[in-house]
Amino acid sequence: MTVNTSSRIVLLGATSGIGLAVARSAAQAGATVTIGSRNPASVDRALRELPDGVTGYTVDASSSDDLAAFFEKAGEFDHFAYTAADPLAGAPLNDYTVDAAFQFFGLRLVHALDAVRLAIPHLREGGSITLTSGTAAFKGGTGWTLGAAASGATISVVRSLAVELAPIRVNAVAPGVVRSPLWAQMSETDREEMYRATGASLPLGRVAEVDDVAKAYLALMDQDYATGTTSIVDGGTLVA
């Protein structure tokens, strides 16, 4: 279903980074866009940045009540994408804590599924759901076990839900490293060095910008014949 002026799109975790870029692209394509995230100040800031007409609400994805109220306010829509996540803090297994692991999986997987469950009654015919994975699913490394596991689980989830929820389409986007506020916990110097070194190691010579990745979400919304798939947008990370 082509994203155009008749499309209604709901984006959760869209006040920053990749989700914000999806919101901007969808609004520029003429769609009616509703965004949400946990922090009211983030919602206000995003709405000031986005084109007029975008609506936004505060919603904590870890609360089923919040999610239900958010979708109620959003009404009926064609496409739902979930990009909510806490800042990344890769850690080796030595530093593993059960609480941190539950928190990490909670937002990226457990609450994502709750959001899908609560979004479904609001989806119009021909609708789609897009979740967020990452190339760590295929290529992890020291410190990336949780990221790899959650990303891999998301790929499995969309393959299963695509069958269970058909004809609703369910897909995922798997970015490589993206220049986004997700990395805000690193010092600026370390972060820029990580972007530079990672980019230099890739066939395309740079890490992704959020707009590179946003295109994949819009493409999966547009693509009526894709379901259960994961779109890898990684500048060649997995082949380098």
Q: Which is nearer to ligand NAP, 168 or 173 (CB)?
A: 173
**Of these, 90, 143, 181, 228, which contacts ligand NAP (CB under 6 A)?**
181
The answer for residues whose C-beta is within 8 angstroms of residue 8's C-beta and 6 or more apart is 31, 32, 34, 74, 75, 76, 77, 78, 79, 124
**Of these, 1, 29, 62, 201, which contacts ligand NAP (CB under 6 A)?**
62
Contact 234, 212 (CB under 8 A): no
Residue 123 bridge partners (DSSP): 77
Q: Minimum Å distance from CB 104 to ligand NAP? A: 9
- Contact between 175 and ligand NAP by CB under 6 A: the answer reads yes
Q: Is 12 helix (H, G, I), strand (E, B) or coil?
A: strand
Q: Which helix (H) or strand (E) holds 112?
A: helix 111-119
**Of these, 10, 168, 178, 232, which contacts ligand NAP (CB under 6 A)?**
178
Contact string (CB under 6 A) for ligand NAP, positions 77-116, x = contact: ------xxxxx-------------------xx--------
Q: How far is CA 32 from the centre of its chain?
A: 18
Number of residues that bind ligand NAP (CB under 6 A): 29
52: DSSP letter? T
Q: Which residues from 197-216 bind ligand NAP, rule CB under 6 A?
A: none
Q: Which is nearer to ligand NAP, 77 or 183 (CB)?
A: 183
According to DSSP H, which parts of 75-174 are helical?
A: 98-105, 111-119, 145-164
